[in-house]
Amino acid sequence: MGRGDTCPNAAEISRMGWASPATGGAAISSAVLPPATSGGYLSYNLPATYLTGTGNYIRVRPDWLGSSYSTTLTGRNLYLAVRVAKVGDAALGTSYAGLVSVGCVAWARHTCGKPAVAQ
């Protein structure tokens, strides 16, 4: 392990097994989230990542953005979590604290803690 202070994001804490997605928030895709034109939306109450590792992020798989986002090699997952500068996140900068953090990870590198399977 390295030395020093760090504030891993939702994708990183998920991969390390320190966090799990909110109920229904493990893989939000076009199959789960209807187009905005139909008035569809999803609502989640996320605890700050320092409070608990259970249900503290959602993962969005934006397959509705076309072929560049819908293949294993070029696709991206978006991870959303609430970050507050306390306990394990105490070193979080003031420009990031108290906000929703959005991270982006290639599908081929990460699929909720398990190796990605080619599609």
Q: 61 versus 47: which is more confidently predicted?
A: 47
Span 9-39, pLDDT tens digits? 898 889 889 999 999 999 898 888 876 666 6
Average pLDDT for residues 46-58, to the nearest whole number? 94
Domain limits, the chain: 10-106
Q: Are 50 and 89 in contact (CB under 8 A)?
A: yes
How open is the CA angle 111-113-114, to the nearest 5 degrees?
65
How open is the CA angle 6-7-12, to the nearest 5 degrees?
110
Determine if the pTM surpasses 0.75: yes
Query: By C-alpha distance, which of 9, 10, 89 is closest to 50?
Result: 89
